[in-house]
Amino acid sequence: MNIPNRITVSRILLIPIFLIIMLAPFDWGSMYLLGAEMPVTHFVGALIFILASTTDWVDGHYARKYNLVTNMGKFLDPLADKLLVSAALIVLVELNDVYAIMDCNHYYQQRICSNRSPPPACRGRRGCRRKYAREN
């Protein structure tokens, strides 16, 4: 297992830590940030999410720079991205910071964007046909 794959696996391992810190009833107090009061656990959870998101760029950059792209990395990297974003959206819904309909919107947007056919809003526009053309 090369270094970019290890970084990707570390991102996957950060997800349960992020979930535990955000959802477990720790009482670490509260803090003021930009004029708003927030629990320290939410701030720490945000830092973990930012760290995990940054590893996405780091492992991709490292893999391309040193030609360490593997099939395992091609599989794990998008999986780790989707797991991290889904976990964050589920936490936000649980904390009543985002409505559940937003989470469903993310799911359907991922399904539309991963499909090769153009989305309904794009049909009939000139540049979209070339952008969503099937590769032969």
Domain at 38, CATH number: 1.20.120.1760
Residue 135 pLDDT: 46
Q: Is residue 134 part of a domain?
A: no
Q: Is residue 84 part of a domain?
A: yes
Q: Is residue 11 part of a domain?
A: yes
Residue 36 pLDDT: 85
Say whether 33 sits in a helix, a strand or coil: strand
Q: Is residue 120 part of a domain?
A: no
Work out how many domains the chain is built from and give that number. 1
Residue 123 pLDDT: 52
Q: pLDDT digit of tens for each residue in the chain (136 aa)?
A: 899 999 999 999 999 999 999 999 889 999 998 888 889 999 999 999 999 999 999 999 999 999 999 999 999 999 999 999 999 988 988 888 776 665 565 556 655 555 555 555 555 555 444 544 544 3
Which ranges constitute the DSSP H helices of the chain?
3-23, 40-65, 71-94, 100-114, 126-131
Residue 41 pLDDT: 93
Q: Is residue 79 part of a domain?
A: yes
- Measured in Å, how far apart are the chain's first and last C-alpha atoms? 33
Domain range enclosing 44 = 3-98
Say whether 1 sits in a helix, a strand or coil: coil
Cβ within 8 Å of residue 51, ≥6 positions away: 14
Q: Is residue 135 part of a domain?
A: no
Residue 22 pLDDT: 94
pTM of the model: 0.71
Q: Is residue 89 part of a domain?
A: yes
Kind plus residue range of the DSSP H or E element containing 30: strand 30-33
Closest listed residue to residue 42, CA positions, set 23, 57, 60: 23
Q: Is residue 132 part of a domain?
A: no
